[in-house]
């Protein structure tokens, strides 16, 4: 269940409080009304009824002495009463409606025969209904006022929170030593701002440590690789056998791949959209052929056939190192997870797909295949596909992976 927003909860709380309070007030008014009617009408009419019975006993009863609106029915006079009154049991009865009006009725007996005293309360009931209608309208008005007040109060309460949210949104990833606590001292969210300042301080220290590490790692890794590549060039300049030359070329290519990987990881570690200067655009077919040559030993060992379907030879305006890392990881995964069968590579102007006839990936694992800690290989780290996904997201490429257990996997990249 989705949690209601703070604004909604404030509104609901205020409306509930006002509704309960109004209902209690209305209930109190109705209770007081009932008690007043019992005292004013019930007791008064009952006392008058007893007095009239006494007058009958003393033979001192005169109908003309009754107050206006009062009528006393005894003996044959009872026959003119409507059924709504004659059906009433002995006792006091309030708000008895008839065709002539609304009455307070006292029912008793005189010498074994029923006697009735009625008091016309029609005007009182009309006034009472008008008051009750006003009470209902008042409750509705109070409820509407509560909603309006709730909206106003929620805006006032949430204004500092919204201001803090906007302030935090304005902080850019490249900004450092930013502190916001002083702007909210003495306010309700001052503690939140102070806590966030502490978090920003820890984050700044963490970023600084990461920057120092990446800068040091970049320098320390590039230097030995450059030395190795220089040594390979010296060896290649001297007369060598054909196998030695091939081995030197593979060493040179591995060093270039390592340098490209360092550049790519540094590129992904930066928030800014800095591109890697890789010189010439990436020749996709040439990169694939180079990757296949590097993987020839694994392909021969597993007796895997490679089916190429190159409908085009696209030249991509993207860093060559990133294209090589992305495609290389997909090809390497296909080889590692295919015990036997074939690898099919298809290329057109904007797409590359690599299909295998390997073991496949289950639907549950496929849903999390790009997460950093998920790997379909025993002992794997899950970094390969996560790195490919990050490269694709950063450069606006689209990656897709379809798989069926026991049939194989198809991975594809659409270049922007």
Domain coordinates of the chain in residue numbers? 6-146, 190-269, 282-414
Instruction: Check: CB of residue 90 under 8 Å from CB of residue 46.
Output: no
Q: Which of 11-15, 136-140, 253-257, 378-382 has the lowest mean pLDDT?
A: 378-382
Overall average pLDDT of the 152-178 stretch = 75
Helix (H, G, I), strand (E, B) or coil at 103: strand
Cα–Cα distance list, 183 to 167, 172, 189, 196, 197 (Å): 10, 18, 10, 12, 11
Instruction: Give the pLDDT band of residue 14 (cuts 50, 70, 90).
Output: confident
With a cut of 70, say whether residue 217 has pLDDT above it: no
With a cut of 50, say whether residue 132 has pLDDT above it: yes
Q: What is the pTM of this model?
A: 0.49
The torsion of the CA quartet 58, 63, 65, 66, rounded to 10 degrees, works out to 110
Ranges assigned E (strand) in 230-313? 282-283, 305-310
Please report the pLDDT score of residue 148 as a whole number.
83
Instruction: Check: CB of residue 271 under 8 Å from CB of residue 174.
Output: yes
With a cut of 70, say whether residue 369 has pLDDT above it: yes
Compute the distance between CA of residue 236 and CA of residue 250 in angstroms, rounded to an integer. Answer: 12
Compute the distance between CA of residue 389 and CA of residue 41 in angstroms, rounded to an integer. Answer: 86
Compute the distance between CA of residue 249 and CA of residue 30 in angstroms, rounded to an integer. Answer: 100
Compute the distance between CA of residue 85 and CA of residue 103 in angstroms, rounded to an integer. Answer: 9
Give the DSSP per-residue string, 3-47.
PPPHHHHHHHHHHHHHHHHHHHHHHHHHHHHHHHHIIIIIIHHHH
Strand partners, 404: 408
With a cut of 50, say whether residue 381 has pLDDT above it: no
Q: Which of 102-116, 195-209, 269-283, 286-300 has the lowest mean pLDDT?
A: 269-283
The CATH code of the domain at 282-414 is 3.30.565.10
With a cut of 70, say whether residue 10 has pLDDT above it: yes
Instruction: Give the pLDDT band of residue 284 (cuts 50, 70, 90).
Output: very high
Instruction: Give the pLDDT band of residue 344 (cuts 50, 70, 90).
Output: very high
Compute the distance between CA of residue 282 and CA of residue 324 in angstroms, rounded to an integer. Answer: 9
Tokens 């008042």 identify what position? 138
Instruction: Give the pLDDT band of residue 145 (cuts 50, 70, 90).
Output: confident
The token duo for 210 is: 């990461």
Q: What is the pLDDT of residues 36-51, one digit of tens each?
A: 777 777 788 888 888 8
Instruction: Give the pLDDT band of residue 387 (cuts 50, 70, 90).
Output: confident
With a cut of 90, say whether residue 240 has pLDDT above it: no
Instruction: Give the pLDDT band of residue 164 (cuts 50, 70, 90).
Output: confident
Instruction: Check: CB of residue 302 under 8 Å from CB of residue 339.
Output: yes
Query: Considering just the CA atoms, what is the radius of gyration of the chain in Å?
Result: 46
Ranges assigned E (strand) in 56-158? 70-74, 91-97, 102-110, 113-120
Q: Which of 20-29, 99-108, 205-214 has the lowest mean pLDDT?
A: 205-214
* Residues listed for the chain: 416
With a cut of 90, say whether residue 347 has pLDDT above it: yes
Element (H, E) at 409: strand 408-414
Strand partners, 385: none
Compute the distance between CA of residue 290 and CA of residue 306 in angstroms, rounded to an integer. Answer: 14
Roughly what angle, to the nearest 10 degrees, separates helices 122-169 and 6-37? Answer: 170
Fold classification of 190-269 (topology level)? Helix Hairpins (1.10.287)
Please report the pLDDT score of residue 279 as a whole number.
58
Cα–Cα distance list, 380 to 230, 278, 318 (Å): 33, 30, 29
Average pLDDT of the chain, as a whole number: 81
Instruction: Give the pLDDT band of residue 342 (cuts 50, 70, 90).
Output: very high
With a cut of 50, say whether residue 380 has pLDDT above it: no
Instruction: Give the pLDDT band of residue 219 (cuts 50, 70, 90).
Output: low
Q: In what order do the strands lie in the sheet with 102-110?
A: 70-74, 113-120, 102-110, 91-97
Q: Which of 39 and 69 is assigned the larger pLDDT?
A: 69
Element (H, E) at 275: none
Backbone angles phi, psi at 259, to 5 degrees: -60, -40
Burial of 181 (0-12, 13-18, 19+ CB in 10 A): middle
């Amino acid at each position: 269940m989705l949690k209601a927003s703070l604004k909604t909860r404030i509104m609901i709380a205020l409306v509930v409080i006002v509704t309960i309070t109004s209902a209690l007030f209305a209930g109190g008014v109705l209770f007081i009304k009932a008690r007043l009617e019992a005292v004013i009408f019930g007791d008064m009419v009952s006392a008058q009824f007893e007095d009239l019975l006494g007058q009958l006993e003393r033979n001192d009863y005169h109908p003309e002495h009754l107050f206006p609106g009062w009528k006393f029915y005894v003996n044959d006079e009872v026959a003119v009463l409507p059924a709504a009154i004659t059906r009433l049991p002995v006792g006091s009865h309030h708000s008895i409606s008839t065709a002539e009006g609304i009455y307070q009725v006292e029912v008793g007996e005189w010498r074994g025969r029923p006697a009735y005293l009625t008091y016309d309360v029609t005007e009182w009931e009309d006034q009472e209904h008008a008051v009750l209608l006003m009470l209902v309208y008042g409750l509705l008005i109070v409820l509407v006022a509560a909603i309006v007040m709730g909206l106003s109060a929620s805006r006032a309460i949430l204004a500092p929170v919204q201001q803090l949210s906007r302030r935090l949104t304005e902080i850019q990833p490249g900004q450092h030593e930013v502190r916001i606590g002083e702007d909210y001292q003495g306010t309700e969210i001052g503690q939140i701002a102070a806590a966030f300042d502490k978090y920003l301080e820890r984050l700044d220290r963490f970023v600084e440590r990461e920057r120092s590490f990446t800068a040091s790692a970049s320098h320390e890794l590039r230097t030995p690789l450059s030395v190795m590549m220089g040594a390979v060039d010296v060896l290649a300049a001297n007369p060598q056998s054909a196998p030695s030359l091939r081995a030197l070329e593979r060493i040179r290519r591995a060093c270039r791949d390592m340098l490209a990987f360092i550049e790519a990881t540094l590129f992904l570690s930066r928030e800014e959209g800095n591109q890697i200067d890789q010189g010439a655009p990436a020749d996709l077919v040439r990169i694939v052929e180079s990757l296949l040559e590097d993987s020839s030993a694994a392909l021969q060992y597993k007796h895997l056939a490679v089916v190429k379907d190159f409908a085009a030879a696209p030249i991509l305006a993207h860093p060559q190192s990133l294209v090589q890392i992305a495609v290389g990881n997909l090809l390497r995964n296909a080889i590692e997870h295919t015990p036997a069968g074939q690898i099919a590579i298809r290329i057109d102007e904007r797409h590359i797909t690599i299909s295998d006839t390997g073991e496949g990936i289950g639907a549950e694992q496929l849903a999390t295949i790009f997460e950093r800690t998920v790997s379909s290989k025993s002992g794997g780290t899950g970094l390969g596909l996560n790195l490919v996904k990050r490269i694709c997201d950063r450069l606006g490429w689209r990656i897709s992976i379809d798989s069926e257990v026991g049939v194989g996997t198809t991975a594809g990249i659409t270049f922007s």
